[in-house]
Homo-oligomer: A and B are copies of this chain.
Amino acid sequence: MTTDQAHALLRGPLDVVHAGIDEVIRGAEAAGVPVERLEFAPPAGGELDRIRMLRRLTGGALGAAVDAANAAALERLLASRPHVVGVGLAREVVPGMKDNLFLHAGPPIAWERMSGPLRGAVVGGLLLEGLAGTPEQAETLAAAGSVRFEPCHHHDAVGPMAGLITPSMPVWILEDRADGPRRGNRTFCTLNEGLGKVLRYGAYASEVLQRLRWMAAELAPALGEALAARGPIDLKLLMAQALQMGDEGHNRNRAGTSLLFRQLAPALARLPRERESIAKVLSFIDSNDHFFLNLTMPMAKCMLRAAEGVALSSMVTVMARNGTDFGIQLAALPGKWFVGPAEPVRGLYFPGFTERDANPDIGDSAITETAGFGGFAMSAAPAIVQFVGGSADEALAATRRMRRITLGPNPGWAIPALDFAGTPTGIDVRRVEELNLLPVINTGIAHKDPGVGQVGAGLVSPPWSCFHQALEAFHAHARERFPQP
């Protein structure tokens, strides 16, 4: 009996789940019966109410309706065609952005509950905007409510780590170019600052602010003009190539950064600017293999936005962390957060740091896994597995596991090591609960104190409570729209 067969049994006419299986087997073993031990675990953590919900949501006419809705949601996601079309100031292009509004990663959170790296980024943002003169002043202002905080996700935006977007920051502008009703949908993300001491890890030293000012004054206009001259870039095509070149689009973006660099450099060289100014822009991109991350993230957001609002779809459309809480959203319930505590990251630390220095999981970058790459495409990037102490075979196994909780492969994104099978795409909250199998996320680790920066990288999963709440809310929503005996 396989685990899947065991689960199939549970969809039959049973109302009792025996949680003592191991004891039963030990008795049989003692009696000399040959026993093959399975990895079996009861669905939904063995919680009876949720097992009943699962049975309703997977069987009969309602199950079929959810399947059909999920197929439609996946089709929308796969049909989206995010292009990077330009660069603008957040204040001018991000919908709903205004003075004294700061956007951050993850679900909503107040200053009081913010973790160190997010507080550090807020302090940096207040200094950058000229709203505070010193870090102490900034903290006082933030605590006093002089600035409002909202999730990036409430503004069609995403941000890595702290994910801070303040009004004067430049952002990439992405647009869905697919034919149909979602054509023209836009998503946004800041430009990647590079490695070392950076705002997204909560650093706010003067070098951090100076770099951000240079990015707004020089880098962003140059990139915007180069893009305008050469035309929009199809990011899914670029990502397809990067997946053939060892990237998974979350923790490894060397290929994507290189291919983007090639596409932009000739247009940058033609700009009517000082040679040194263009050379500095090129060197800045070249010095940071994560430059492309801030395009894979809004690409993922653009794809997932296309699936939002499919009424009976149990597909996950957001996974995001603010450093304190982890939140997810479902296609059927757009805008509604299901929140649990952000978990510690299992990973390797840079010399001199240990897990005691680590902040819990933070950042909107789990949007990459939500859209079917990053940790879900681990087998495309064995270099990352090596970094966290694994093997190429473990990378293949990780991708195969994620197939079990997803709706289907992305035929446009082939993984060479899996004989060009598509990346597993579209997390089904039902499958997560049924198989007791959480999504795996590749991530960086931030220091828990503001201003320090990155201390390592590793793997993390969402807390179970997000999925339990999501399943319950989805069940209620589905039963309301689809009443049945």
| Residues in chain A within 8 A of chain B (CB atoms) | 241, 244-246, 254-255, 258-259, 261-263, 265-272, 275-276, 278-280, 282-283, 286, 382-383, 386, 391-393, 416-420
Contacts and interface: CB of A to CB of B under 8 A. Distances in A.
A246 to B, nearest CB: 4
Contacts of A382: 416-417, 419-420
Contacts of A268: 269
Given A270-B276, A418-B392, A265 B246 contact: no
A266 B279 contact: yes
7 contacts: A246-B416, A255-B258, A261-B261, A265-B269, A265-B282, A269-B282, A386-B416
Given A245-B255, A266-B282, 17 more contacts: A241-B254, A244-B246, A245-B246, A255-B255, A258-B258, A262-B286, A263-B286, A266-B283, A269-B278, A269-B282, A272-B275, A382-B417, A382-B419, A391-B419, A392-B419, A392-B420, A417-B417
Contacts of A418: 392
Nearest to A261: B262
B269 A275 contact: yes
Shortest 9 CB-CB contacts between residues of A and residues of B: A258-B258, A382-B416, A245-B245, A266-B282, A269-B279, A266-B283, A245-B246, A262-B286, A270-B279
Contacts of A267: 279
Contact of A265 (B241, B259, B265, B276): B265
A270 B278 CA distance: 8
B269 A383 contact: no
Most buried by B among A244, A279, A416: A416
A421 B267 CA distance: 40
A286 B265 contact: yes
A263 B262 CA distance: 11
A254 B265 contact: no
A367 B81 CA distance: 42
A244 B419 contact: no
Contacts of A270: 275-276, 279
Contacts of A283: 266
Contacts of A392: 416-420
A265 B285 CA distance: 11
Contacts of A255: 245-246, 255, 258
Nearest to A381: B416
Nearest to A278: B269
Contacts of A269: 265, 268-269, 275, 278-279, 282
Contact of A258 (B259, B280, B282): B259
A255 B382 CA distance: 16
Contacts of A266: 279-280, 282-283, 286
